[in-house]
Each structure stands twice: as structure tokens, then as C-alpha cells.
């Protein structure tokens, strides 16, 4: 073998070796077609990948896979772990466990995690019907579709999430999370279907993503410190919201160091807003910048910075206008 060929061969090995040991869910008994439950196969593939000492992961090929509640838990042995999805993961429709559970697909206590590609579809419907009826007080809350919690150094790239029973993507108690090229869709009138919900996390970045839902595109709540949103599209939906704060947590409802820029809003109920509940708690909202927010469909929301009875500040836009930067120097922080 001549040197050039050898070098080429070597480069090939290097370039494919980053996640050599991807465990294909098919090898663990997953069934394509979306009719046969493949939860155990997914969990077994995860368990094996997580126990591996090398860079490792789970691979979901093309096709539709029916998967129930899945907790992919860590800590893992491997220093890097990937969840690569080329298929579509669908949830069981109206299964009572899923309705009662907090989340459907969960990555719990996993560090150095790369979640790449794929579609997930919670196929919600009856829970929306129930919640749309305001007189009906007995609706279940429904599971969030996709949760990363208690993890560090996590990437979520190219994920599509459809029709969640509740919030689509939840980031909770994490440090260093990079979300990019995510696409989230649910009907405009689907209740509580937040796009991305961030809480108790630090150093979160959300870029190049499109979110259309029936609730907040991005909700930034309790103890989120350090969040950067750039180049996202939002709408329909309720806009980008900090809060509600002070409603549930008795103390230290703190959100700070948030920057949201280059966002296009289209058909949103609100623009960007800060929602607080003025209950005399020791919360704090500080160092928030909204920059270059464009409203492409102005008739749907009103242009004003509004402070309501709950001391809720709402920044709304009704002309083809942009907020260059907010707050101004004299409004650098807001006590809630």
C-alpha cells in the first residue's frame, strides 16, 4: 500500500471514529412501522452505550418507532455519548402513563451528550381537546416531549418535535447546553405547548431554530442564568417570555444575563415579555437584552411596554418595528 493510500485510509478511520460504537436500536429488537412498542429496545441500546468506556451512542435508523416513556439515565462511563436519530419516534396515543408522567423522552444526569437529528411526534390531541374546554377542570397535564436534565455539556442539533402534550423541549438543571437547528411545531390553538422551556440552568444557547406553537416559543423561568437566543423564528405562539416568575417558587426566583437577538416574530400573541407575579418574594430579573426583534405580522399583537396588575411587563409590537435594545440603563433590573 503506498503512503498516499495509507494516509487516506488513516484519515477515513479518523473521520468515522468519533462515534464508532453506535448501537443500532434494530439490533436490540426495535420494530419499524410504528405499531409495535420498541421502548425496551431503545432502553437496552442506551444501557449498552452508556456502559461503554469508549465514545459511544445509540443509533435510530430511518422509519417510525413507537416508544413509550423512556428515561435515558446516566451517569455514563463513556466520555462522549451520542443519540443519533434518522427516524421518527412516535408516542403511544392517549396512554394514561404518558398523560400522568412529567416527560416522555428524558436524558437524565448525562454529561457530554450529543443529540443529533430525527423527529419526535407525541401525537397529542385528546388532551388539547380537554384543555380547550375551559370548564373542564379535570384534564391531565400531559407529558413534556423531550427533557434534558441535570446534565452538563449537551448539544441538541437538528431535532424536530411535533404535537407535544405539553412543552416540547425542556432544559432543566443543566449547565452548558447548545440547541441548534431545532424545529418545533404544534397548532396555534394547542394549549400549553411551549416550544423550549428553560429552568434552573446556566449557559444555554438556542440558535437557528423555528418554533410554532400554541404557547410560548421560548419560556425562560426559575433560576436561568446565562441564556443566549439568536436567529430564531417564533410564531404562531405567545412569543418569547421570561416568567412567569414568583408564582410558584417561594423565593429566589432569579433570571439573569439573558440576551435575545435577531428574532423574527410572526403571528404571535405577544412579542417579548417579562411576566412576574408580585407576591413579595425575593425574585430578581436582571441584565436582560432584547435586540433586533422583528415583528413580521404586526396585526396580531400590540405595541407597548406594559406593566399590568401583576407587575407584568409585556413588550409588544404592532408596527413593523424592532426593539433595538431593552431595558435602558434606568431599568437594568427589576425586582419581582
Residue numbers at the binding site for ligand NAG (CB under 6 A): 181, 183, 209-210, 231, 233, 257, 259, 262, 264, 287, 289, 292, 294
CA nearest to 142, candidates 102, 105, 111: 102
Collect all residues with Cβ–Cβ distance below 8 Å to 150 and sequence separation of at least 6: 108, 109, 172, 173, 174
- Decide whether 80 or 181 has the Cβ nearer to ligand NAG: 181
Q: How far is the CB of 221 from ligand NAG (least distance, A)?
A: 17
Nearby residues of 266 by Cβ (< 8 Å), 6 or more positions away: 233, 234, 235, 236, 295, 296, 297
Nearer to ligand NAG, 183 or 318 (CB): 183
> In whole angstroms, how close is the CB of 308 to ligand NAG at the nearest point?
26
* Shortest distance, position 148 Cβ to ligand NAG, whole Å: 18
DSSP 25: G
Cβ proximity of 258 and 285 under 8 Å: no
Task: Please identify which of the residues 168, 197, 238, 291 carries the catalytic annotation.
Answer: 238
Query: Residue 276 and residue 258: Cα distance in Å, rounded?
Result: 16
238 as an active site residue: the answer is yes
- Count of beta carbons in the 10 Å neighbourhood of residue 17: 11
Query: Which one-letter DSSP state was computed for residue 93?
Result: T
Q: Closest by alpha carbon to 23, among 40, 53, 3, 44?
A: 44
* Helices and strands of the chain, counted as H and E runs: 4, 28
User: Which residues on adjacent β-strands are paired with residue 332?
Assistant: none
Beta carbon of residue 176, minimum distance to ligand NAG (angstroms, whole number) = 14
Smallest gap, in angstroms, from Cβ of residue 151 to ligand NAG? 21
Q: Name the residue among 101, 234, 78, 107 with its Cα closest to residue 171.
A: 107
Residues 176 and 200: beta-carbon distance below 8 Å: no
Q: Which is nearer to ligand NAG, 291 or 311 (CB)?
A: 291
Supply the minimum distance, in Å, between the C-beta of residue 200 and ligand NAG: 18
Distance in angstroms (rounded) separating the CA atoms of residues 121 and 218: 19
CB closer to ligand NAG out of 190 and 210: 210
For residues 77 and 325, which CB has a smaller minimum distance to ligand NAG in the complex?
A: 325
Closer residue to ligand NAG in complex, CB, 141/294:
294
- Distance of alpha carbon 116 from alpha carbon 164, whole angstroms: 19
Residue numbers annotated as active site: 238
Amino acid at each position: 500500500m503506498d503512503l498516499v493510500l495509507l494516509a487516506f485510509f488513516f484519515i477515513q478511520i479518523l473521520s468515522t471514529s468519533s462515534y464508532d460504537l453506535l448501537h443500532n436500536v434494530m439490533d436490540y429488537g426495535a420494530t419499524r412501522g410504528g405499531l409495535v412498542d420498541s421502548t425496551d429496545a431503545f432502553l437496552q441500546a442506551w444501557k449498552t452505550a452508556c456502559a461503554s468506556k469508549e465514545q459511544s451512542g445509540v443509533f435510530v435508523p430511518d422509519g417510525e418507532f413507537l416508544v413509550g416513556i423512556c428515561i435515558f439515565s446516566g451517569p455514563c462511563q463513556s466520555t462522549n455519548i451520542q443519540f443519533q436519530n434518522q427516524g421518527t419516534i412516535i408516542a403511544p396515543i392517549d396512554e394514561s402513563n404518558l398523560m400522568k408522567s412529567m416527560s416522555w423522552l428524558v436524558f437524565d444526569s448525562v454529561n457530554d451528550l450529543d443529540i443529533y437529528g430525527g423527529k419526535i411526534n407525541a401525537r397529542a390531541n385528546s388532551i388539547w381537546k380537554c384543555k380547550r374546554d375551559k370548564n373542564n377542570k379535570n384534564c391531565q397535564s400531559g407529558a413534556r416531549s423531550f427533557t434534558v436534565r441535570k446534565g452538563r455539556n449537551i448539544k441538541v442539533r437538528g431535532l424536530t418535535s411535533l404535537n407535544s402534550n405539553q412543552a416540547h423541549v425542556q432544559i432543566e438543571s443543566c449547565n452548558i447546553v447548545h440547541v441548534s437547528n431545532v424545529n418545533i411545531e404544534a397548532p396555534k390553538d394547542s394549549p400549553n405547548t411551549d416550544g423550549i422551556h428553560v429552568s434552573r440552568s446556566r449557559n444555554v444557547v438556542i440558535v437557528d431554530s423555528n418554533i410554532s406553537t400554541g404557547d410560548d416559543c421560548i419560556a425562560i423561568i426559575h433560576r436561568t442564568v446565562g441564556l443566549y437566543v439568536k436567529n430564531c423564528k417564533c410564531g404562531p405562539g405567545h412569543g418569547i417570555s421570561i416568567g412567569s416568575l414568583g408564582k410558584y417558587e417561594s423565593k429566589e426566583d432569579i433570571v439573569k444575563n439573558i440576551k435575545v437577538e435577531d428574532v423574527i416574530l410572526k403571528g404571535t400573541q405577544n412579542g417579548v415579555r417579562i411576566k412576574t407575579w408580585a407576591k413579595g418574594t425575593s425574585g430578581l430579573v436582571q441584565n436582560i437584552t432584547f435586540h433586533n426583534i422583528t415583528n413580521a405580522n404586526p396585526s396580531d399583537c400590540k405595541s407597548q411596554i406594559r406593566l399590568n396588575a401583576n407587575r407584568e411587563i409585556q413588550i409588544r409590537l404592532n408596527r413593523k418595528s424592532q426593539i433595538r435594545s431593552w431595558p435602558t440603563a434606568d431599568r437594568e433590573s427589576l425586582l419581582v
